[in-house]
Amino acid sequence: MPTVEFIVLALALLAVLALQCLLLARARAGGGGAERHAVERLERELRMELQSSAQSTRQELAAHLAQNQAAIAQQLDNMRQQIQLSSQGGREEQARALKRFSDTLNGALANLTESNAQRMLEVRATLEHKIRDLQADNAKRLEEMRQTVDEKLQSTLETRLTESFRQVSDRLEKVHQGLGEMQQLAVGVGDLKRVLVNVKTRGTWGEVQLEMLLEQVLTVEQYAKNVETVRGSNARVEFAIKLPGVVDGGPPLWLPIDAKFPKEQYERLLEAAEQGDADGVARAGAELERAVRGEAKTICDKYLAPPQTTDFAILFLPTEGLYAEVMRRPGLADDLQRTLRVTIAGPSTLAALLNSLQMGFRTLALEKRSSEVWQVLGAVKTEFGKFGDVLAQTKVTLERAARNIESAEVRSRQMARKLKSVEALPSEAAQLMLGSEDPDPS
């Protein structure tokens, strides 16, 4: 081995060095020339021997190194071959392991696929069964609904038919009643015609219509009937509206309203117009104008006496046709209003005038009670301030209650988290444990 040879060579060198040191020590101690020559010779021999020994050692070392290199190369080739063999075996083993894993994985996938297919078949069968049950239940319910709808439709149809027949019977009965009422109305029209022929009765009919208009718009305290507007004249107007006097609490100011109905002149005018008689229309129109002027002059002379009355009076014509004909006469209404201080009014015109007066009455009443309204508003303002204080206290109380509820919710959530790990008992066991009564199932 190279290590042993190195050790032997080192020991030889040490021995040679020890002998040389010994010879030198003796030469110094003896001091002779012969010994010195002997020592030199011995030194030369030793040097020569060391050289030869070193040369032989180098040769041996070179040979050993060559042998070692060859051995190492041989060992490396062997190791390379072994590594190739082991790697080839590892690859083969890995391939076999991969094949086994692939086979195992394929088997597991096949089993999983088969299991999934089996489960899908089971799920499909369950779904088909459920769908059949659902279809059967739907069909049953649809049949029940159809029967219920048929029954309700039948009952509704019978009810509607019965109701329709009853309504038809009632309407036929009302038609018969209406025919009877029309016959009675025809009789009443004849009676009305006879009434209108009489001047006194005709005036009464105008008064009745005027009274109906006054009752519909004004209150009983706002007008009077058969009023003596001029004191001491003993002339009484049919109706007069009470207006506020000059002095509060004093006598009222009267607005006279009288109803007139010049029926004969108006009918002659209509007959002449229907026949196309222009002269007759002119004569009848002039007669109607004279009659209206005469009635207006009578009203002005009998019922107007300012300041006991207003500065004007109202002449009421009970039909719209008569009012339109009078207003159609050129300058007649303006002349009556300017010279006789009488205003012509029909049913619609008088209703509008009465509504205007009613609004004036309401405005006056509001002005009189304005101080009371302000007092009431002051009291309401005071009470509203108190209500605001109460509302603020209520708000504070509600906020406190809300905070208490929030704290209770937080505590309940904390208790729920603490009790999350506790297993809940069945409801019957919990009721028995807590001693609570079983609630009424009804």
Residue 367 is predicted with a pLDDT of 66
Residue ranges in the chain whose pLDDT is less than 50: 1, 189-192, 194-203, 437-442
Number of domains in the chain: 1
Q: Is residue 233 part of a domain?
A: yes
Q: Kindly report, residue by residue over 43-69, the tens digit of the pLDDT.
A: 777 778 777 777 877 787 788 888 888
- For residue 225, is it within any domain? yes
End-to-end CA gap in the chain: 110
Cα gap 159→149, rounded to integer Å: 15
Query: Which pLDDT value is given to residue 36?
Result: 66
Cβ neighbours around 281 below 10 Å, total: 18
- 3-state secondary structure labels for all residues of the chain: CHHHHHHHHHHHHHHHHHHHHHHHHHHHHHCCHHHHHHHHHHHHHHHHHHHHHHHHHHHHHHHHHHHHHHHHHHHHHHHHHHHHHHHHHHHHHHHHHHHHHHHHHHHHHHHHHHHHHHHHHHHHHHHHHHHHHHHHHHHHHHHHHHHHHHHHHHHHHHHHHHHHHHHHHHHHHHHHHHHHHHHHHHHHHHHHHHHHHCHHHHHHHHHHHHHHHHHHHCCHHHEEEEECCCCCCCCCEEEEEEECCCCCCCCCEEEEEEECCCHHHHHHHHHHHHHCCHHHHHHHHHHHHHHHHHHHHHHHHHHCCCCCECCCEEEECCCHHHHHHHHHCCCHHHHHHHHHCEEEECHHHHHHHHHHHHHHHHHHHHHHCHHHHHHHHHHHHHHHHHHHHHHHHHHHHHHHHHHHHHHHHHHHHHHHHHHHHCCCCCHHHHHHHHCCCCCCCC
Give the structural domain span for 267.
201-368
Is residue 229 in some structural domain? yes
Answer yes or no: is 298 within a domain: yes
Q: Is residue 86 in some structural domain?
A: no
CB count within 10 Å of CB 277 equals: 13
In a domain, 296, yes or no: yes
Residue 188: its pLDDT value, please?
56
Cα separation, 422 vs 333, whole angstroms = 103
Assess if residue 286 is contained within a domain.
yes
Question: Domain for residue 273, yes or no?
Answer: yes
